[in-house]
């Protein structure tokens, strides 16, 4: 994995563990020579990931919608800051530039990015690993919900391992490196569906 898209919040929670986690992820990726592709912002966890990666000598590529550049939240300290017209183009760029996806805590936008990466993997638009860093048990309920969808039958057996999760970055990256792509829906027959 040469580059990973990192999905995370642009907010700064009161609990300092979240910013520290973001810094650990940015630095941890840089120390492993894995470039960061992220939302291009300078605020919250986004800014912390990017700044820590840069401080550790890593590559940082920001992808930001034009409207956010104009509201002065863009991080111009990236190796490359790509301005796109909107969110759909932004997520396509994340997919094009990355060899996988890591989601750390965030809000609605972060969840949108995670679920789209999973949906695209399920369909076959990419075959890259989709990782979820479940630090502090932040995503416990989401992981349980994903298991519930599979239990009920809304996630096919072939796709139940798309979401890779671990509580630490080293464990998550190890699982992602060993990820074996599944059979995407685009390659399945109607009887398989």
Q: Domain with 19 in it: what CATH number?
A: 3.40.50.450
Domain count, the chain: 1
pLDDT digits (tens, 9 = 90+) for 130-183: 999 999 999 999 999 999 999 999 999 999 999 999 999 999 999 999 999 888
Q: 186: pLDDT confidence band, cut at 50, 70 and 90? A: confident
User: Residue 193: what pLDDT?
Assistant: 65
Looking at residue 192, the DSSP 8-state letter turns out to be: G
pLDDT digits (tens, 9 = 90+) for 70-107: 777 999 999 999 999 999 999 999 999 999 999 999 99
pTM as predicted = 0.94
How many beta carbons lie within 10 A of that of residue 175, not counting itself?
Answer: 15
Cα distances (angstroms) measured from residue 169 to each of 6, 12, 26, 32, 129: 12, 20, 10, 11, 14
Contacts of 65 (CB under 8 A, 6+ apart): 83, 84, 85, 86, 87, 89, 90
Give 29-60 pLDDT, tens digit per residue.
Answer: 999 999 999 999 999 999 999 999 999 999 99
Q: How far is CA 15 from CA 10, 23, 47, 100, 166, in A?
A: 14, 14, 16, 28, 21
Which residues form the domain of 92? 3-192
- pLDDT for 4 beyond 80: yes
Report residue 148 as tokens: 């519930």
């Amino acid at each position: 994995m040469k580059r990973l898209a990192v999905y995370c919040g642009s907010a700064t929670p009161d609990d300092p563990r979240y910013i520290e986690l973001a810094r650990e992820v940015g630095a941890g990726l840089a120390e492993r020579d894995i470039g960061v592709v992220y939302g291009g912002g300078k605020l919250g966890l986004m800014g912390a990931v990017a700044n820590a990666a840069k401080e550790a000598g890593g590559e940082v590529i920001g992808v930001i919608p034009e409207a956010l550049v104009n509201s002065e939240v863009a991080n111009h300290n990236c190796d490359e800051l790509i301005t796109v017209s909107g969110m759909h183009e932004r997520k396509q760029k994340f997919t094009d530039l990355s060899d996988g996806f890591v989601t750390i805590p965030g809000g609605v936008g972060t969840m949108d990015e995670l679920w789209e990466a999973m949906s695209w993997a399920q369909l076959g638009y990419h075959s890259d690993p989709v990782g979820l860093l479940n630090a502090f048990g932040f995503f416990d309920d989401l992981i349980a919900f994903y298991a519930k969808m599979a239990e009920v039958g809304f996630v096919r057996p072939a796709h139940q391992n798309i979401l890779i999760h671990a509580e630490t970055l080293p464990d998550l990256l190890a699982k992602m490196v060993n990820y074996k792509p599944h059979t995407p829906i685009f390659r399945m027959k109607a009887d398989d569906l």
